[in-house]
Structure 1
Amino acid sequence: MNTIVSRFWPEWNGTLTKRSGGWNNTTYFVEQDDRRAVLRIYDTHKDQEKIRFEHAVLQQLALQDLPFMIPVPVPVVTGDTLVRLEEREGKFACMFRYIAGDSPAEQDPGFYESFGDAAGSLTAALADVDPGLPAVYRPYYELSTNYPLCSREAVAGLYSNPPEGLEGLLPELKVLVEAYEGIAGSLEQLERLPHQLVHGDLNASNLLVSAQDGAKVTALLDFEFCTRDVRAMEAAVILSGMLCHAEEERIIRDFWRGYSRTITLSTEEIAAIPVLILLRKVDVFLHFLTRYLEGTDEVNVLQEQIVLLAADIVQMSGEAGGERQGGVLR
């Protein structure tokens, strides 16, 4: 690891601490005296074009006067912002400037209005960003392109002929398979909604709050999945993470109060929010199913996600297919 750090920080002779959590990357805090940085190793892909797009977006955002911090890539001596790690099977690594702050407690409802403010400001800022590179990740609604291993037939087969380890989750699998089938007919309609760059994965794990004021969001992190997609998808992804929260209705109202100070969605976009939330849930399911099929995760990881996602979808159906969320937004 010392060799990797020295490529970004040649004079470094400090400490390296691995950060817990994260499904797609390995992250380390790098320190020496009063200087800090964050080292990221991309574990689930070796596609440098995805990383270059992410870094181009961040560099463009860094030129704007944002009311929150974002990661800023640190270049190596050659000026590039990523390095190939031949010693790690060709994986890529990059380093970002350190951003002070705390991770919020997900069950703490106090930061959601500030989260809405920050998300709205980011949506407005991303509308003006031109990274000069084609987006690599496809929109959420292109499920068949995004998850070639997860055809409708393959997903249906999970329920009709579940693999070892999933036999005890037939009710949950039925919910997810039906959600996948149900969403398929709505995908073409989503293509007609306004599009722009979106972060695509904003949630409590990808933001920081002030150490002095836990209700104040100070940074938005992890732009790895940034792409061009339905504009309203940004809000839908965030709202999808609020399902089953003990104070769900309150935090949705708080978030939307902050978000709508900057962004006004059209009637069509607001009407599509329940479908987009369901799409996010199906997408997460297919993401972890793909990781399982590729051998990245053991079956216990997929089991956990199946239970959580099915519960969220049942929660949505219990609210008349999302009418409660739509009512709150109005």
Structure 2
Amino acid sequence: MIQQLLQANWPEWNGRLAKGPTGWNNTTHFIHNEQRRSVMRIYNTHRDRARIEFEFAVLDSLQRVPLSFKIPAPISSMSGDRMVRVQDGSERYACLFAYIEGVRPEEGSIQAAYSFGEKTGELVNALAVCSIGMKPVYPPYYELLQSYPVYNEAFILDFCNQPPPAFKDQGEALHILKEAYADICSRLESLKNLPQQLVHGDLNFSNLLVDVGRPYTVTALLDFEFCTQDVRAMEPAVVISGFMGMADEKEAIRQFCEGFAQRVRLSAEEIGAIPVLMRLRMVDVFLHFLSRYREGTDESSVLREQVDMLAAGFQRMEYCQEWLDDMLFQCLL
């Protein structure tokens, strides 16, 4: 199927295929031939052309800003379009991107944490001056209730208090998530007043590349699919939430924040909101996987894993709240 897509739309890029990383939302394939290399991305969870068009508009705007790292560069097909339908009856879209040198960081390693902070701060500054001329497709994180209208407080309470059979033994974890959901919903209105701009919204170790010979240096930031207008402090909050639970979480967060502060300084109000934004991100992840389960996209085992992981994350945040607040203000103010 992939080679048929290439032959029909990007024949000069056709070549040897290698399966790339598969995420929750898309699959990738590497294509190699004697002249060039590329990456095909297939969007699995939506059939919405407007989402990809906004993503590409952001990438086009960023291409005009000097950056010390690479970002995805879409390749036009023979017809001039940069997205094509997959001819398998699924109505999914496929896009081709120029290959970017680099490797994903070694799992559990924090070697690139400082560089990750620098590049994140650089991206924040670049996105602040981007002119898109299009309305974002994805809502900001703080519009949680509008983003998941079906999964309102009554639904969440019912699901957590009287879970389906597959989740009956996760009562304690679901109680933690229920309490976190209620707490975050009570704070959403106050978050809207924080400084806003375009944000990537999903930066983590799976969405970056590091130099092969210098694994402490980030060479690329990837996957701008969820880029939208949101609270500026959400960008570091998403990254920091991903460090929680790592063996060297404290050092990883410190290095990231020190690198980020080389490019961006946040206000005291923004810094104080980061732990709340981290919890908001985690609640959003819970609702995201709950919706995937309810829609039949994932088996119950996927949601079970997320429930346990997120509940542990909320407990971890309670435990480390004091040192996290001190570190954030020490490094970012």
TM range (shorter): over 0.9
Deviation at 1:45, TM superposition (A): 0.5
- 1:44 alignment partner in structure 2: 45
Deviation readout 1:163-203 (Å, 9 max, x if unpaired): 12101111111111110001111000010000000000000
Match of 1:157 in 2: 158
Deviations 1:310-330 (A, max 9, x none): 1010001112xx332221112
Q: CA deviation at 1:13?
A: 4.2
Contact 2:6/2:14 (CA < 8 Å) preserved in 1?
Answer: no
**What is the Cα deviation at residue 34 of structure 1?**
4.2
Q: Is the 8 A contact 1:8 1:95 kept in 2?
A: no
Once the two structures are superposed, what CA deviation does each residue of 1:101-133 show, in whole Å capped at 9, x if it has no partner?
110023112110000000000000000111111
| Structure 2: unaligned runs, 5 residues or longer | none
Q: How many Å separate the matches in 2 of 1:13 and 1:38?
A: 11
Which residue in 1 is equivalent to 2:169?
168
Structure 1 CA distance for aligned equivalents of residues 309 and 35 of structure 2:
41
Residues of 2 paired with 1:104 and 1:26: CA distance?
19
Contact between 1:289 and 1:302, CA under 8 Å: does it hold in 2? Answer: yes
Q: Which residue of 2 aligns with 1:313?
A: 314
Pairing 1:58–2:59 present: yes
- 1:325 corresponds to which letter in structure 2? L
Which amino acid counterpart does residue 198 of structure 1 have in structure 2?
Answer: V
Partner of 1:326: 325
Partner SS for 1:4: helix
Counterpart-to-counterpart distance in 2, 1:12 and 1:112: 34
Cα distance, 1:12 vs. partner? 4.2
- Trace 1:175-324 onto structure 2 (pairs within 5 A): 175-319=176-320, 322-324=321-323
- Gaps (5+ residues) in structure 1? none
Conserved? CA contact 1:5–1:39, under 8 Å: no
d(CA) in 2 for partners of 1:326 and 1:121?
23
CA shift, 1:11, in A, is: 3.1
Q: Secondary structure at the match of 1:142?
A: helix
Closer, same or farther in 2 for the Cα pair 1:269/1:38, shift >3 Å? same
- One-letter amino acid of the counterpart of residue 179, structure 1: A
Contact 1:72 1:97 in 2 (8 A): yes
Q: Distance in 1 between matches of 2:139 and 2:11?
A: 37
Instruction: Please state whether the residue corresponding to 2:37 is helix, strand or coil.
Output: strand
In structure 2, C-alpha distance between the alignment counterparts of 1:206 and 1:216, rounded to whole Å = 14
SS in 2 for 1:19: strand
Number of residue pairs the alignment of both structures matches: 328
Report the alpha carbon displacement of residue 87 of structure 1 after superposing the two structures with TM. 2.7
Tell me if 1:143 matches 2:144.
yes
- Looking at structure 1, the residues matched to 328 and 156 of structure 2 have their Cα atoms a distance apart, in angstroms, of 32
Tell me what 1:5 maps to.
Answer: 6
